[in-house]
Amino acid sequence: MITVLPIDTPGLGDRTYLAHDGAVALVVDPQRDYDRVLGLARAAGVRITHVFESHIHNDYVTGGYELAREVGAQYLLNADDPVSFERVGVRDGDVVEVGDRMRVRVLLTPGHTHTHLSFALSEGGEPFAAFTGGSLLYGSTGRPDLLGPDHTDALAHAQWHSARRLADELPDTTAVYPTHGFGSFCSATQSEATTGTIRQEKLSNPALTRELDGYVEELLAGLDAYPAYYAHMAPANSAGPGRPDLSPPAEADPAELRRRIAAHEWVVDLRSRTAFASGHVAGTVNFGLDGPFVTYLGWLIPWGTPVTLVGETVEDVAEAQRELVRIGIDRPAAMATGRPEDWAGGEPLRRYPTATFADLAAERDQRTVVLDVRRNWERAEQHIAGSTHIPIHEVLDRLDEMPAGPIWVHCAGGYRAGVVAALLDAHGVDVVAIDDTFDNAGPAGLPLTSAPEHQEIHA
């Protein structure tokens, strides 16, 4: 019997898969920190012989190249992918034998990229599993705009045809195992599903329930911004990324932390947003490990800026470091652990208030500045009347629009508001971080609307 084991990377919304027959194993789309894959293989008592890559990824640095080198496995990519390293090139219709029992049929499924592949896994007879990468996702498909506007329309059309091909050629009982779709910005839309089959996707997936023109129109209309760091992923993956170095960085004392902050490096506090608001070193920024840490840090940081990690424990720093290598931020400049008092070196800590939407309703008057940092589609669904909208990824480029404050910052659940409040605080802006769910805004008495508004921030 063949077993398929997923390896989740929730910070990026992706999955890697290891499939084995009790003796040998194949791996699909491994993340950069492939030691997790090796641990799973050791626990199962199997030898990895093949590593399959569905596409040149845009949202993370692959571990496939180094994993294959370390274990002596074949590394299989589309033969048309322009890479600068040795690999086994495969094409549509190829069948790869893995051990004595597993057979993998290669299917060309363009849409997320032009050379995207899916892999149908069989044990002797018909396929029972399909690794669909960024093609057919649970209730969605991979987004078609990551290669630029000149390719988007053609890839959107190709994505519909690829999804239909998978649905037509694979048995209804085939289990679908996508790489993206668990919060990844590579997914065109988000779904709550965590499992699925071809039959289930035929009932709910827009690519399989809507005609081509309707699907493409809806897909393109729903696309929103994606993380800026994506621009650096495909070049890294095409070059054959090396093994990550997860050894601890050097310890920084308070004087060094101050020097790094003064040099406009990023000193990143990993504690929760509420802990940060209640006391932090001036000039530090906050990306808590209790949320999508690496997505937003990678999106907002000027690429190449040195990063120093400060957290309560060595384990916190190690977790952050592991997440960072997945997007190619390989070595933190330094680290510090303990309490903010330890990092401040006797200097006073900075603080700012946190609040709820009820607090905002009680305090709000005509002069109150409310900053909504959610995404465009969230804003369009419903927002606080009279609030200003600057999506989180635009805040650093629009600092000159900020008044002295106080600015009440909100998002949908508090995490993004905490990130933005910390960034504004580091730039000397007076802020209040709303640590509350947006569902509470209306019941608190705040006026809500879905009408488009153009609201300037005035000092």
* pLDDT for res 18: 98
Q: What is the pLDDT of residues 377-408, one digit of tens each?
A: 999 999 999 999 999 999 999 999 888 779 99
Residue 13 is assigned to a structural domain of this protein? yes
288 with 365: CB under 8 angstroms?
no
pLDDT in the model for residue 306: 98
Residue pair 350/429 in contact by the 8 Å Cβ criterion: no
**Has residue 459 been placed in a domain?**
no
What is the rounded CA–CA span in Å between residue 150 and residue 233?
A: 19
Same domain, 190 and 114: yes
Separation CA 209–CA 263 (nearest Å): 54
Rounded alpha-carbon distances, angstroms, from residue 46 to 3, 53, 99, 100, 438: 11, 20, 11, 13, 47
pLDDT for 454 equals: 59
- Same domain flag for 125 and 93: yes
CATH code at 129?
3.60.15.10
CA atoms of 186 and 204, how far apart (whole Å): 19
The residue ranges of DSSP E strands in 357-450, in sequence order, are 369-372, 383-384, 388-389, 407-410, 431-434, 448-449
Residue 118 and residue 136 in contact, taking contact as beta carbons nearer than 8 Å: yes
Query: Average pLDDT for consecutive 10-residue bins of the chain (459 residues)?
Result: 96 96 98 98 98 97 98 98 95 97 97 98 93 96 96 98 98 97 84 88 96 96 94 96 96 98 98 98 97 96 97 98 97 98 96 98 92 95 96 96 89 98 96 98 97 62
For residue 459, the model assigns a pLDDT of 44
The pLDDT value recorded for residue 456 is 54
Same domain, 418 and 276: no
Residue in the block written with tokens 């490990």? 289
Q: Which among 184, 212, 239 is the end of a domain?
A: 239
Evaluate whether 239 touches 85 at the Cβ level (below 8 Å): yes
Give dist(CA 81, CA 67) in Å, integer: 19
CATH code of the domain containing 373: 3.40.250.10
User: Is 380 found in the same domain as 296?
Assistant: no
Same domain for 174 and 31: yes
Distances in whole angstroms, Cα of residue 141 to Cα of each of 78, 158, 201, 413, 454: 20, 11, 11, 26, 32
Same domain, 316 and 394: no
The answer to whether the beta carbons of residues 354 and 274 sit under 8 Å apart is: yes
Residues 319, 441, single domain; the answer is: no
The position carrying tokens 């009680």 is 362
CB-based burial of residue 444 (10 Å sphere; 0-12 exposed, 13-18 middle, 19+ buried)? Answer: middle
Whether 207 and 99 map to the same domain: the answer is yes
- Helices marked H in 326-367: 340-344, 357-363
Residue 51 burial by Cβ neighbours in a 10 Å radius (0-12, 13-18, 19+): buried
- pTM here is 0.94
Q: Which residue has the tokens 């084991």?
A: 5
Token representation of residue 356: 């709820």
Kindly state whether residue 50 falls inside one of the protein's structural domains.
yes
Instruction: With respect to residue 267, please indicate whether it lies within any of the assigned structural domains.
Output: yes
Last residue of a domain, one of 326, 344, 362: 344
Q: What is the DSSP letter of 180?
A: B
User: Checking phi first, is residue 22 left (phi over 0); if not, alpha (psi -120 to 50) or beta?
Assistant: left
Whether 99 maps to a domain, the answer reads yes
Q: Which residue has the tokens 């599903």?
A: 193
- Beta-bridge partner residues of 48: 25
Is residue 227 located within the same domain as residue 300? Answer: no
Q: How far apart are CA 11 and CA 108, in angstroms?
A: 28
Token digits of residue 448:
């809500």
Whether 220 and 358 map to the same domain: the answer is: no
- Nearest-10 crossing angle of helices 212-222, 149-169: 130
**307 in a domain, yes or no?**
yes
- The residue among 206, 239, 272 that closes a domain is 239
Residue 454 belongs to a domain: no
Please check whether residue 418 lies inside any domain of the structure: yes
Interior CA angle at 108 toward 206 and 220, to 5°? 35
Please report, in angstroms and rounded to a whole number, the separation of the first and last CA atoms in the chain: 67
Give the residue numbers spanning the domain of 191: 3-239
Q: For residue 217, give Cα distances in angstroms to 221, 224, 446.
A: 6, 14, 34
Amino acid code (one letter) for 131? F
Based on the domain organization, do 318 and 368 belong to the same domain? no
Total tally of structural domains belonging to the chain:
3
Q: Are the beta carbons of 449 and 425 closer than 8 angstroms?
A: no
Q: Which amino acid is at 173?
A: T
List CB contacts of 28: < 8 A, sequence separation 6 or more: 16, 17, 19, 51, 52, 53, 54, 119, 131, 133, 177, 179
201, 266: one domain: no
